[in-house]
A and B are shown apart, each in its own frame.
Chain A
């Protein structure tokens, strides 16, 4: 596994966010679906776990890669963008000591690699560097602190390479002395580059900066004359860096070259000009060459008074090495450039130069090196008059200064030979770099050599082994930040130039600096290719010193016994559907984007606005099935199973958010609210005014001159309508993520036709590879509750496999010892939460916090953005310890959700967890008084005051531990019950199955096939055999539960069999799986006509191949929703659509000519079951929709015929069908479980289904601990889901059994026997059976393990003998006193 570097140490990070504040890189925020931005240094979202920040990096930006010295271009450009010019220069100084020089003379190779070229034009990197340099006076910039070293290094030559080496060696603490032959330091920078390109003040400042680091420069000290390498080494220099450049001109090798005084090599010419030896040029000048120095010489000559300046160059303009800008400037100044002209001979008379004879050339096609060779054109000779000729065709090092005694190896090209990696010459300790090893090259290359030499000189001096060969080096990679598709084109900055008239007779700088605004604008064009630019601003900002930019990805190897794959899904990308304008119109958003818009932590803090103008929309449309049930735009034939629900929810919530009455419309094909309480939500949404329009919308169009959108649609009546909306939400489907095939291959698991993980109905979380489980949307589109069920099921499967090694790899987390606070006066800490803007947006939290400080015994107060975040917990722990707090008050949200979290933190800080008081200033304050901030703030103060009053009276409460019986009782011997029992048994726990009937199997005994056509009876027989053969399972047939006592870990259940024999079973957990039945309706002639069937009757006809279905012209009618989705049972029975369609297909298999009608209200073949619906329609099954107010009518037509009449909304008329049979999909309802529910104290909903602890997150748990549920008693569901839920129940139950003992709460009632009169009032009110009566002493007593702390007893007791610990009368009255006192 590759563990990605975070670059911020989570252990040190306090999540203060200071790092993100200084980060200059803005990126689209994925958490907000890119509707907002975040920094490269970030935390994904406020409550993210881990709670620490991290830094996102990609590969090094191409500009930095392209720079020979790898200057950190992205960073110094980013610094300019945010106006940090000094910091920009500091970034440059990390890599080179010449910001101003390079900002003027660098040929900026970086710009050629700039990815902005893919959008418009490269960033003007050099101009930006120069701008930054010009904003900072280097004289005022402090030099870094350096730890000095003793070793000395000699550098010969003070050009860019020598000075760079000196600079970096000095930064490393070495004593550096630079020896320079010329009178002033700078080498070619000073003597080669004319002043109008590089003002000497710039160079001088930079050299001064280097000197301030302690670098000594000895000028007029020439190698070979004043010093030798031997001398230097003898004098004790540990190393020498030879950087003497290339100053010896190449010969033209033409006649007359050496005959005339006025033929001057370019280096000599420029040097003399700088030394003021040449101050004037007159007459005609010819410069030969096409490089920088040729242009320089020509422009200098012009400035010194030349009348006519000509450049001759053998090749064309394209081949010129000089920069385009330089050539342009030269031409502007009136210099003539003669392209494709070669010199032939220089002539004159009487030693006086007259001119140069030239010949025109033609160019060959590019050769292997890409260069075009000039070939003289015979007969094209011509003559140019000249008073001065300056050959500028290149230089080579002048190595006469090296003596043979120095023993330095020189190549045949007259260059010093070095190790290409380390720049060390053949002589140990002597290094060389810059032009002396390469021939004339650029400043930046010389800088690179100097920097590298400094590094290896350091290594050499420190006695490290140097590489002998040039390694390949690590590839720098090209994984950069994607360029946004809609990146706006912006013109590159054009720096101003000095007017030509002011240029030609002065040496004033020609290229002028861009202004600040232009610079920032230009810098903001940067695409942030590398994401983090490594400006290190965060390093300085981080007080915790948590940032480490050198952190690296790690390869991690882990050993595991089992694997669960839950990689989730991708959202369908609707931009491929052209007609929906997604990505083209800002007000067409995806449903996830809309979630973010609604969210308080979203881009607009929960204010419902549309993206285009951030105004509140008045009319929003939702389009369903975008990327689902669609094989035209994509290959997603399946239903995504969640979109109907989230769309309704979004519409309802959006209406709540809107101040001005939002109109919401959902365009749908079938409304698939198939789950528990889903249909009721749908009904409620309709009541609340959400409009539902049945049709698939073809297209969304722009309305010219407006940000609104128009939807054209056709309803069942065939009439086309057009409607205007402010905003359109696309309910996008779920897809397997793009990386799934690769993942599947890695693990060797099979995928289904849609690339979801393939599983069977009977093993819903097991892949094709044993030991690898799946769960969640990776297995198929599904909602949160079912994902959570599967997750627990997968855990069950893994735990069963690994039962023998349970506990071998885990350690108990040691709890710190509890601090004894007895005798301490209360020291209260109050923490007031903003909950993002949930509280802080209404309540003035700082005011509340300030107020809290004034309350008695409050010694510490703090305000938090999110008190529940991980970093806030850590802070709380620290604060408790540092301030010796012994009572904690948190004013935030609901204790129901968050109290345990804070109590854990108290425990970790060594405090008894009951020394905690939480007050809800959100749900009961900011949310309900959102329109009155003043009152809400006052109420928050009241609540805090009350909490503090109680906190003052809090006492530590003891908890006790009770052993858990390692066994489970499963009630119900159907598939769910048996699977749950096996789940427990295979994990190593005893299980009892109590089944009312005399056989196992339950409802499944009647089912022949699953929707995937798997054989249910075979599975069932195998399952029963497995159960019967499992030693740990005891099956109690023909038995019923008669009594339940005890509590989690220690239940005692009495069962009775059909013979009246009673048995007591001790068990730690219970799983209720009593199943459900289908109704026998009293409509549609059910029970009155032999051809009206129900559910599995039709399966029997199919299995028997009955004559009724095989005869020619046989007609079957399926009626859906019989008894479901009606006022009496306002829920969908979930499995009927799939079953009827499956039966229809089977009928078609047997009798393809059969007429089959399915009369339905909405077809709810959710998830991949949609394939069946698709197939049925393709096979000619006719679907007719009916509505509840016009139900079909079934009439007898003799004993073997029926007449079914139904209104068809598409035909807009009644249709009459002569049917041979009618099959009713009757509602599923639970039965015979109410007593059991009562005994286990678990609730039923209004439809009598058992109610789980939490619909989404605890789908198989009950609020009553130790009791779980699965199967149809929870809600109708297909076999695969029942099995998954049963395994989930076993998994959840095992989490209890694995604890071995449980801890009882400290919040329990206590009865004072001295005052108790034994009236037993408390005993009667206790719903948990937690109070007993002592017949002898005539007093009541509490069994703490059963007490749930409800306080009913305390309120009932007439003698005030019952006290609920943690809620004593004193504590409660103190709160009441406080609230009444004001």
Chain B
């Protein structure tokens, strides 16, 4: 994984950028962090959680989405 982008080192980085802090982004970030990688989780709104945080209960178990 050589990065040819000027201004960036070509050395492989042990870090990952996850763009979007909804349920998917958060899960990716958690897995990677738990596997020994540094994660930058980037979210444009002021809080992570995405649409799921707005849901009341979830299908099909009727559990609280929060």
- Pairing of A with B: yes
Q: Footprint of B on A, CB under 8 Å?
A: 1, 4, 6, 31, 33, 43-45, 47-50, 54, 558-569, 592, 595-596, 598-602, 606, 645-646, 648-649, 652-653, 677-678, 680-681, 770-771, 773, 775-778, 783-784, 787-788, 790-792, 794-796, 798-799, 801-802, 804-810, 987, 1255-1257, 1291-1292, 1294-1295, 1298-1299
Please, which residues of chain A bring their CB within 8 A of the CB of B51? 568-569, 592
Q: How far is the CA of A568 from the CA of B24 in the complex (A)?
A: 8
User: Which of B16, B19, B58, B66 is the one whose CB lies under 8 Å from A802?
Assistant: B16
Please, which residues of chain B bring their CB within 8 A of the CB of A788? 23-24, 27
Does A649 contact B19, Cβ atoms closer than 8 Å? no
Task: Please tell me if B6 contacts chain A, counting CB pairs below 8 Å.
Answer: no
Does B14 contact A810, Cβ atoms closer than 8 Å? yes
Q: How far is the CA of A50 from the CA of B21 in the complex (A)?
A: 12
Does B59 contact A648, Cβ atoms closer than 8 Å? yes
Offer 8 A-B interface pairs, CB within 8 angstroms, sorted by A.
A45-B47, A560-B40, A561-B15, A566-B28, A653-B57, A798-B28, A810-B33, A1294-B31
User: Which of A568, A784, A809, A1299 is the one whose CB lies under 8 Å from B38?
Assistant: A809
Please, which residues of chain A bring their CB within 8 A of the CB of B57? 598, 649, 653
Chain A nearest Cβ from B21, distance in angstroms: 8
Closest to A571 in B: B51
User: Which of A569, A602, A680, A808 is the one whose CB lies under 8 Å from B14?
Assistant: A808
Does B31 contact A792, Cβ atoms closer than 8 Å? yes
Does B12 contact A805, Cβ atoms closer than 8 Å? yes
Does A645 contact B59, Cβ atoms closer than 8 Å? yes
Q: How far is the CA of A788 from the CA of B8 in the complex (A)?
A: 31
A33 and B40 contact, Cβ closer than 8 Å, known pairs A560-B15, A560-B16, A776-B22: no
Does B14 contact A44, Cβ atoms closer than 8 Å? no
Q: How far is the CA of A804 from the CA of B13 in the complex (A)?
A: 10
Chain B nearest Cβ from A759, distance in angstroms: 14
Q: How far is the CA of A1228 from the CA of B24 in the complex (A)?
A: 28
Does A568 contact B13, Cβ atoms closer than 8 Å? no
Does B36 contact A564, Cβ atoms closer than 8 Å? no
A1295 and B31 contact, Cβ closer than 8 Å, known pairs A592-B54, A645-B60, A809-B38: yes
Please, which residues of chain A bring their CB within 8 A of the CB of B56? 595-596, 598-600, 602, 606, 653
User: Which of B15, B42, B62 is the one whose CB lies under 8 Å from A653?
Assistant: B62
Closest to B52 in A: A784
Please, which residues of chain A bring their CB within 8 A of the CB of B29? 795
Does B37 contact A806, Cβ atoms closer than 8 Å? yes
Does B28 contact A794, Cβ atoms closer than 8 Å? yes
Q: How far is the CA of A1 from the CA of B40 in the complex (A)?
A: 11
Please, which residues of chain A bring their CB within 8 A of the CB of B18? 563-564, 566
Does B27 contact A792, Cβ atoms closer than 8 Å? yes
Closest to A561 in B: B13
Q: How far is the CA of A1102 from the CA of B57 in the complex (A)?
A: 46
Does A47 contact B60, Cβ atoms closer than 8 Å? no
Please, which residues of chain A bring their CB within 8 A of the CB of B23? 776, 784, 787-788, 791, 1257
User: Which of A47, A599, A799, A1256 is the one whose CB lies under 8 Å from B37?
Assistant: A799
Please, which residues of chain A bring their CB within 8 A of the CB of B16? 560-564, 795, 798, 802
Please, which residues of chain B bring their CB within 8 A of the CB of A1298? 34-36
B interface: dominant SS: mixed
Which residues of B (41-66) have their CB < 8 Å from a CB of A? 42, 44-63, 66
Please, which residues of chain A bring their CB within 8 A of the CB of B52? 784
Closest to B50 in A: A568
Q: Which of B16, B28, B44, B56 has the most CB of A within 10 A?
A: B28
Q: Footprint of A on B, CB under 8 Å?
A: 1, 8-9, 12-20, 22-29, 31-38, 40, 42, 44-63, 66
Please, which residues of chain B bring their CB within 8 A of the CB of A567? 19-20
Known pairs A567-B20, A773-B28, A795-B31. 15 more at Cβ < 8 A?
A43-B47, A50-B46, A592-B51, A598-B57, A599-B55, A677-B60, A678-B59, A787-B24, A796-B31, A798-B28, A799-B31, A806-B14, A806-B35, A807-B14, A807-B36
Please, which residues of chain B bring their CB within 8 A of the CB of A1291? 31, 35
Does B35 contact A1294, Cβ atoms closer than 8 Å? yes
Q: How far is the CA of A1295 from the CA of B31 in the complex (A)?
A: 6
Q: How far is the CA of A958 from the CA of B45 in the complex (A)?
A: 41
Closest to B55 in A: A595
Q: How far is the CA of A563 from the CA of B9 in the complex (A)?
A: 16
Q: How far is the CA of A567 from the CA of B28 in the complex (A)?
A: 12
Closest to A678 in B: B60
Q: How far is the CA of A771 from the CA of B1 in the complex (A)?
A: 8
Please, which residues of chain B bring their CB within 8 A of the CB of A799? 31-32, 35, 37
Q: How far is the CA of A652 from the CA of B56 in the complex (A)?
A: 12
Please, which residues of chain A bring their CB within 8 A of the CB of B14? 561, 802, 805-810
Q: How far is the CA of A565 from the CA of B53 in the complex (A)?
A: 19
Closest to A606 in B: B56
Please, which residues of chain B bring their CB within 8 A of the CB of A805? 12-14
Chain A nearest Cβ from B60, distance in angstroms: 4
Chain A nearest Cβ from B22, distance in angstroms: 5
A44 and B20 contact, Cβ closer than 8 Å, known pairs A795-B27, A810-B38: no
User: Which of B9, B40, B44, B59 is the one whose CB lies under 8 Å from A646?
Assistant: B59
Chain A nearest Cβ from B51, distance in angstroms: 7
Does B31 contact A1256, Cβ atoms closer than 8 Å? no
Does A809 contact B35, Cβ atoms closer than 8 Å? no
Please, which residues of chain A bring their CB within 8 A of the CB of B61? 1255-1256
Q: Which of A47, A565, A602, A791 has the most CB of B within 10 A?
A: A791
Does A681 contact B28, Cβ atoms closer than 8 Å? no
Does B54 contact A802, Cβ atoms closer than 8 Å? no
User: Which of A4, A49, A602, A776 is the one whose CB lies under 8 Å from B24?
Assistant: A776
Q: How far is the CA of A787 from the CA of B52 in the complex (A)?
A: 11
Closest to B34 in A: A1295
A50 and B37 contact, Cβ closer than 8 Å, known pairs A564-B28, A680-B60, A1255-B61: no
Does B25 contact A652, Cβ atoms closer than 8 Å? no
Does B62 contact A987, Cβ atoms closer than 8 Å? no
Q: How far is the CA of A595 from the CA of B40 in the complex (A)?
A: 30
Closest to A1259 in B: B27
User: Which of B17, B31, B33, B36 is the one whose CB lies under 8 Å from A1292?
Assistant: B31
Q: How far is the CA of A1294 from the CA of B37 in the complex (A)?
A: 12
Please, which residues of chain A bring their CB within 8 A of the CB of B1? 561-562, 770-771, 801-802
Does A564 contact B19, Cβ atoms closer than 8 Å? yes
Please, which residues of chain A bring their CB within 8 A of the CB of B27? 775, 787-788, 791-792, 795, 1257
A563 and B37 contact, Cβ closer than 8 Å, known pairs A678-B60, A784-B52, A809-B14: no
Chain A nearest Cβ from B31, distance in angstroms: 4
Q: How far is the CA of A606 from the CA of B57 in the complex (A)?
A: 12
Chain B nearest Cβ from A478, distance in angstroms: 21
Q: How far is the CA of A801 from the CA of B14 in the complex (A)?
A: 10
